[in-house]
Amino acid sequence: MQCMVKFRPLTLDEGKLLVRYVRCVVETCLKYGDCALDDCIHVLEPIRDKVLNMRFPVFVTIEKIVTSEGGVSRRVIRGSMGIPVGKLDLARGLMLAAKYAAFRDPRRSCLQPNEWPNCIVEITILSDPMPVPPEKLVEKFVIGYHAVSLYRSGELIVILPQLQVEILEKLVTEKKRQRISMSEYLSTLLSTYGAASNIDRVYLHETQIFYELFPEGEVIERKPYLNRYIRYIVREKTLEARATREETALKT
């Protein structure tokens, strides 16, 4: 898909620096109670001018590795917050998003120092919003690549690609791996976020995601749109074409 290569504002090496920067922000807050730009901007020195002139929406997600009594490890979201409008430069936007994710996510308690060694950092950079008529979402939306911004009764809901594929996996499992239409998937996705109706405006964002494989470990560029469950989604046009072929075959 051609759109997959359009939005790549940063290289992998630059993304690695951003992850280190977010780690510096969180660690400084844990140690001193807060963090200013000057405390961690040195981490970004090789790309300082670039990030101080970039303005994109950004999200930071912190995952914690937890191990059950049986020795099975899994990752749980410890905090996830973002700056949905690209008004701040990338350095300041990431600093604020990191603070919110670690200490001000209203759905979770504040991150504690003893948890941090078991935490993984993920950064999602969003392109500027692209308006899409709600009725065109089925046609334009690429699962796992686009972030979706929904405005409903003055409330903003942002659905990141990583969460989209999690919901897809659950839906495919419930449907016993049968083919699913894009409309059905979108209905489930929006219902999960309480946005199944009364949507005023819809925007799509292209995304670039940098993700630690383990705490302070290798950083990769994550591509949720390559998730294997996406093959179970069938576009409406494909269904219409199939129905037309079957109808024609019956007539002949």
Quick one: pLDDT at residue 88? 97
**Number of other residues whose CB lies within 10 A of the CB of residue 183:** 14
Element (H, E) at 165: helix 161-174
Domain boundaries, the chain: 2-251
Q: How high is the pLDDT of residue 1?
A: 46
* Amino acid 2: pLDDT: 42
Q: What per-residue confidence (pLDDT) applies to 194?
A: 84
Task: Tell me what pLDDT residue 251 has.
Answer: 52
| Overall pTM surpassing 0.85 (yes/no) | yes
Return the SS3 of 175. coil
Question: Residue 178 has what pLDDT?
Answer: 93
Mark the ranges of the chain whose per-residue pLDDT is less than 50: 1-4, 239, 241-246, 249-250
Structure tokens at 232: 């179970």
**Three-state secondary structure string covering 185-247:** HHHHHHHHCCCCCCCCEEEEECEEEEEECCCCCCEEEECHHHCHHHHHEECHHHHHHHHHHHH
**CATH superfamily, with its number, for domain 2-251:** Hypothetical protein ph0010; domain 1 (3.30.700.20)
Residue entry with tokens 């990030």: 51
d(CA 10, CA 209): 10
Q: For residue 123, give Cα distances in angstroms to 2, 10, 131, 209.
A: 23, 12, 23, 6
Q: Tell me the three state secondary structure of residue 82.
A: strand
**How does DSSP classify residue 79?**
E
Q: List CB contacts of 18: < 8 A, sequence separation 6 or more.
A: 10, 44, 51, 90, 94, 123, 210
CA distance 169 to 167: 5
